[in-house]
């Protein structure tokens, strides 16, 4: 006899034994998955559900999707964490499910403004963490973005694009030299879209917030490139002095990317300090081509006498 048949025989023997010991007027009911006599407490057998599994129809699936509500962590809401209430009392599964449902209803969205921020806030926190942006800059970026939402400038524009442009605006307001390429690479958005959104925010939002963008010159990028290339302070001072001498000698930087000028000054300074860095390494850091780097080196060489 197989073990399964032996277990079945034992089960039926227990069932027959329970029927013999049951009372004269049995009252059978389903309790916790068993057939139980309510008068004497005898357990007859387990309750087995043999009904086939039911699948949802396409109409029911579409109805559930259309009725699905989007919930937001913004504003006042009920927060239930774990399996205990505010007094520390253990919640039963029934009440835990009930209170979780109430919490969802309580924090349900009411306006498109909240829905937009519900999506934008986590993305802003992600970009802040990956770009290592200070909290004060992130707060201004959020303030700028909320104004774009209130003015309904999000129509036809993605949330991520406007967020990246708001971060770039906040960085320039605080005078932090971060390139737009750094932001676009992290946000995975094309540079063209971010620049368009930046121009829109610059003309429509910043004047209303009384914020002014600081213009970055080449010497502002020297410190950034010098730190990231792990060069000495002597190299940094030489690069700054090169840019100052070139400007005093009549070097026209109009129309030229300040990152390229800073990269050329850093390249020259590293050569003079015997802390050689390759053109490829510097151009990749400055987000310029090697051809542009060589052209800016020649431009600086025409106006300064420190290159030998």
Predicted confidence (pLDDT) per residue in 215-252, tens digit: 877 877 888 888 888 888 888 888 888 888 888 888 87
Q: Are residues 170 and 199 in the same domain?
A: yes
165 pLDDT more than 90 = yes
Task: Write the CB contacts of 121 (distance below 8 Å, at least 6 apart in sequence).
Answer: 73, 74, 142
Q: Are residues 176 and 252 in the same domain?
A: no
pLDDT: which is higher, 170 or 30: 170
- What confidence score (pLDDT) does residue 21 get? 58
| Nearest CA-CA partner of 42 in 51, 55, 58, 29 | 29
- What confidence score (pLDDT) does residue 220 get? 79
In a domain? residue 166: yes
Share of the chain above pLDDT 70, in %: 82
Whole-number mean pLDDT of the chain? 79
In a domain? residue 60: no
- What confidence score (pLDDT) does residue 170 get? 92
106 pLDDT more than 80 = no
Q: Are residues 204 and 253 in the same domain?
A: no
- What confidence score (pLDDT) does residue 7 get? 47
Question: In the structure encoding, which two tokens stand for residue 67, read together?
Answer: 């009725």
In a domain? residue 85: no
Question: In the structure encoding, which two tokens stand for residue 220, read together?
Answer: 């502002």
Q: Are residues 231 and 281 in the same domain?
A: yes
In which band, very low, low, confident or very high, does the pLDDT at 79 lie, cut at 50, 70 and 90? low
Report whether 107 contacts 71 (CB < 8 A).
Answer: yes
Range of the domain at 23: 3-46
CATH code where residue 298 lies: 1.10.472.10
Q: What's the predicted TM-score (pTM) here? A: 0.57
Which range has the worst mean pLDDT, 5-14, 154-163, 186-195, 278-287? Answer: 5-14
Last residue of a domain, one of 168, 192, 209: 209
In a domain? residue 68: no
How many domains does the chain divide into? 3
Give the CA-trace dihedral at 213, 214, 217, 222, to 10 degrees: -110
Q: At what angle do helices 218-228 and 233-248 cross, to 10 degrees?
A: 160
Which range, 52-56, 94-98, 114-118, 134-138, has the best average confidence (pLDDT)? 134-138
Q: Are residues 297 and 222 in the same domain?
A: yes
- What confidence score (pLDDT) does residue 163 get? 92
In a domain? residue 238: yes
In a domain? residue 82: no
Last residue of a domain, one of 187, 209, 231: 209
| Nearest CA-CA partner of 303 in 218, 215, 179 | 218
**How confident is the model over 4-12, as a mean pLDDT?**
47
pLDDT: which is higher, 225 or 82: 225
70 pLDDT more than 70 = no
10 pLDDT more than 50 = no
In a domain? residue 124: no
Give residue 192's region: left, alpha or beta (phi > 0; psi -120 to 50): alpha
In which band, very low, low, confident or very high, does the pLDDT at 166 lie, cut at 50, 70 and 90? very high
Strands 28-31 and 43-46: unpaired
Last residue of a domain, one of 154, 175, 209: 209
In a domain? residue 135: yes
- What confidence score (pLDDT) does residue 78 get? 55
Q: Are residues 202 and 236 in the same domain?
A: no
For residue 30, what is the enclosing H or E element?
strand 28-31
């Amino acid at each position: 006899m197989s073990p399964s048949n032996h277990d079945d025989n034992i089960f039926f023997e227990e069932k027959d034994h329970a029927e013999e010991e049951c009372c004269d007027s049995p009252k059978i009911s389903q309790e916790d998955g068993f057939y139980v006599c309510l008068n004497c407490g005898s357990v007859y057998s387990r309750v087995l559900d043999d009904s086939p599994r039911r699948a949802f129809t396409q109409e029911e699936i579409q109805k559930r999707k259309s009725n699905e509500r989007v919930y937001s962590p913004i504003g006042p809401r009920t927060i239930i964490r774990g399996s205990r209430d505010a007094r520390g009392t253990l919640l039963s599964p029934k009440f835990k499910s009930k209170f979780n449902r109430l919490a969802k209803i309580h924090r349900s969205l009411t306006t498109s403004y909240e829905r937009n921020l519900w999506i934008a806030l986590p993305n802003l926190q992600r970009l802040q963490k990956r770009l290592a942006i200070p909290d004060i800059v992130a707060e201004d970026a959020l303030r700028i973005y909320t104004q774009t939402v209130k003015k309904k400038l999000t129509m036809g524009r993605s949330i991520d694009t406007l967020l990246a442009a708001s971060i770039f605006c906040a960085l320039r307001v605080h005078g932090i030299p971060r390139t737009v390429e750094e932001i676009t690479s992290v946000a995975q958005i094309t540079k063209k879209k971010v620049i368009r959104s930046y121009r829109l925010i610059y003309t429509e939002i910043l004047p209303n917030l009384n914020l002014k963008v600081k213009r970055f010159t080449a010497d502002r990028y020297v410190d950034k490139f010098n730190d990231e290339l792990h060069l000495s302070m002597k190299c940094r001072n030489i690069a700054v002095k090169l840019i100052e001498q070139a400007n005093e000698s009549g070097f026209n930087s109009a129309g030229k990317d300040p990152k390229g000028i800073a990269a050329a000054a850093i390249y020259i300074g590293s050569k003079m300090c015997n802390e050689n860095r390759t053109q490829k390494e510097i151009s990749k850091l400055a987000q310029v081509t090697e051809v542009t780097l060589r052209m800016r080196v020649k431009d600086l060489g025409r106006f300064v006498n420190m290159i030998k």
